[in-house]
Amino acid sequence: MGNSSTTHSKKYSPSKSNIWLNCPLSTLLNDGSGEEISPQAEFGTQCHELSSALINKSLKLIDYENESKPVEELIKELDMYSPEMQEIADGYADFVVNTFEFEKTRSGEKPLIIIEQLLKMDFDEDAKGTLDCGIISSMNGGTLTVIDLKTGRIPVYTFDDETKMFNSQLGIYALYFYKAYKDLYPIKKVRLIVYQPVISNTNEYEMDIDDLLVFEAMVLRPAVIRTKEENPEANPGKHCRYCSANAVCSKRAEVNLEITQEMNKAFNLLTDKEIEEILPKLDEFIKYAEDLKKHVLKKAIDGHKWNGFKLVYGKGSRKIVNEDAVIKICKSLEIDPYVESKVAGITELTKRLGKERFNSLIAPHLEMQTGSLSLVPDEDPRKEAEIIKEGDK
């Protein structure tokens, strides 16, 4: 299927804006030239194609730039198509259509809607990206809505409570969607929406258009200027984990290795204050170590020899390669070659029964299991866990 890299900027991709807005050097190290497309990313790309076709069909939209194909024909071309992809695409299409109808009903007028539209940004000739869905209605003097479909399992939010900043990817899309149509449609309000069905995460953030224009003047354009300086500065942080150069950046290595110097005592001798100063840095240090190991292993597989190290295989497992022969042998010995059947998982049962029947018949027999405990900063949006000790019961 189509490669999304052809419709996205290499240096200034909106999806990677959290990196280059924070680290000027990243545009030199992270230009996308040698980046491989992961199966997860390709799944997302194909899911967006299917979703687009479903929305166009439901709303009878015409794509004048690309040749529209019937949904059934498109599905045959999607080499990663699966029931999960269909469920995600159906849910997202319904969400977009319902949002469109909601804006139409509350404004009393048919809104403008665009699906999978390429937006070019004026801060660099290479800057561009594809907006999943944009809607402009006349509500509240003009409301611009951006909806972004996420198919991954890492939670994505429209607003970061820690930085007190809205999602920069959606913000850039909203800004250039606004610029493309501001002469035709007045805009007063902006809504950013993330639709992430695989982890039941749908959230939104609303702001005035002035907030978006302040972001452009005070954050976006100054950040781009810093990336174009003769010796752009490196600024390590949480954003490094998404940078393709995260294992070879010397500044990131320098900052993370400083942690080992802070941990110059045995753990039980560190004071609470010392531990509290180290805690916020540990996750990034662990991620840096993992990224470095991944980089080292990849180079070794590609033929690089690391002094004092060698490649070995982990413990293998045996696998039956001819099931028919095994079944025949077992039956000849009057031995049952099959294992006992077990109840299908929740996702599979939902597919078989449909959401409505599953919720009415099966849901009463489900119980939410508590996840494992982890220590996070107070700014984390999740509710604090209540620990009940044995003596308190």
Return the HEC string of the chain.
CCCHHHHCCCCCCHHHHHHHCCCCCHHHHCCCCCCCCCHHHHHHHHHHHHHHHHHHHHHCCCCCCCCCCCHHHHHHHCCCCCHHHHHHHHHHHHHHHHHHHHHHHHHCCCCEEEEEEEEECCCCCCCEEEEEEEEEECHHHCEEEEEEECCCCCCCCCEECCCCEECHHHHHHHHHHHHHHCCCCCCCEEEEEEEEHHHCEEEEEEEEHHHHHHHHHHHHHHHHHHHCCCCCCCCCCHHHHHCCCCCCCHHHHHHHHHHHHHCCCCHHHCCHHHHHHHHHHHHHHHHHHHHHHHHHHHHHHCCCCCCCCCCCCCCCCCCCCCHHHHHHHHHHCCCCCCCCCCCCCHHHHHHHHCHHHHHHHHHHHCCCCCCCCCCCCCCCCCCCCCCCCHHHC
Letter string b/e over residues 14-42, b meaning 16 or more CB atoms within 10 A of that residue's CB: bbbbbbbbbbbbbbebbbeeeeeeeeebb
Calpha distance 229→260 (Å, rounded):
32
**Helix 346-353 and helix 83-107: axis angle, to 10°?**
70
Calpha distance 93→99 (Å, rounded):
10
Per-residue pLDDT for the chain (393 aa), expressed as one digit of tens each? 444 444 566 789 999 999 999 999 888 876 665 566 788 889 999 999 999 999 999 998 876 666 677 898 999 999 999 999 999 999 999 999 999 999 999 999 999 999 999 999 999 988 999 999 999 999 999 999 999 999 999 899 999 988 899 999 999 999 999 999 999 999 999 999 999 999 999 999 999 999 999 999 999 999 999 999 988 998 888 888 888 888 888 888 888 888 888 777 777 888 899 888 888 888 888 888 898 898 899 899 999 999 999 998 888 889 999 999 999 999 999 999 888 888 888 878 888 888 889 989 998 999 888 778 888 878 777 788 888 776 665
User: What pairs with residue 114 in β-bridges?
Assistant: 134
User: Pick from 40, 44, 32, 27: which is nearest to 6 by CA?
Assistant: 32
pTM attached to this predicted model:
0.74
Q: Which amino acid is at 142?
A: G
Calpha distance 318→347 (Å, rounded):
29
Calpha distance 26→12 (Å, rounded):
10
Q: Which two tokens stand for residue 170?
A: 């959606």
